[in-house]
């Protein structure tokens, strides 16, 4: 499979599970399940084994998106196993670059670089200390980014069932 995408934030409870859920939802809507795989992880280990933040779950559920994964920390194997590693902010990107083997660093991208109206290098803000508005705002931002990311992948990954490629 050449469409394996890992979404990464700090604790893997707010932004990255939302991005994973949104991307997987878009993939299902387009009937592309055999071509793409989404996962999420955090650079930190504080929440390993826990479900996403209840506010992330609520904002996704409101829009018919499920967040089934449990929090985990980025592993060395992720840099080989995934084709695209999407950092939610520059701090996460720096942490990933420091952990990543040099030959794999080109896989690491900033999430908002896929948002049409965002400035290059913009961060997805962490809604953790905010209220429902921040979670709604981050959801909408991630929806725009995931939509553009999927469009980009569809133009760069050869057609057909990538699971057999």
Predicted local distance difference test score (pLDDT) of residue 150? 97
Predicted local distance difference test score (pLDDT) of residue 2? 65
State the catalytic residue, choosing from 39, 78, 89, 126: 126
The reported pTM is 0.94
Residue 55 known to be catalytic: no
Residue 9 known to be catalytic: yes
Listed as ranges, residues in the chain with pLDDT below 50 are 1, 160-165
Residue 39 known to be catalytic: no
Residue 103: partners with Cβ closer than 8 Å, 6 or more residues away = none
Delineate the domains of the chain, giving CATH numbers in brackets. 4-164 (3.40.50.2300)
- The torsion of the CA quartet 99, 155, 26, 146, rounded to 10 degrees, works out to 50
């Amino acid at each position: 499979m050449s469409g394996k995408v890992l979404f990464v934030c700090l604790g893997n409870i707010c932004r990255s599970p939302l991005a994973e859920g949104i991307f997987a939802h878009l993939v299902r809507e387009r009937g592309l399940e055999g071509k793409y795989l989404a996962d999420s992880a955090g650079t930190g280990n504080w929440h390993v084994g826990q479900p996403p933040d209840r506010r992330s779950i609520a904002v996704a559920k409101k829009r018919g998106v499920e967040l089934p994964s449990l929090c985990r920390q980025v592993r060395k194997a992720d840099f080989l196993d995934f084709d695209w590693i999407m950092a939610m902010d520059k701090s996460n990107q720096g942490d990933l670059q420091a952990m990543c083997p040099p030959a794999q660093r080109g896989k690491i991208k900033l999430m908002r670089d896929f948002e049409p109206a965002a400035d290059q290098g913009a961060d997805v803000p962490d809604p953790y200390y905010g209220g429902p508005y921040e979670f709604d705002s981050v959801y909408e931002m991630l929806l725009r980014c995931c939509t553009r990311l999927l469009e980009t992948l569809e133009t760069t990954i050869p057609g057909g069932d990538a699971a057999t490629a």
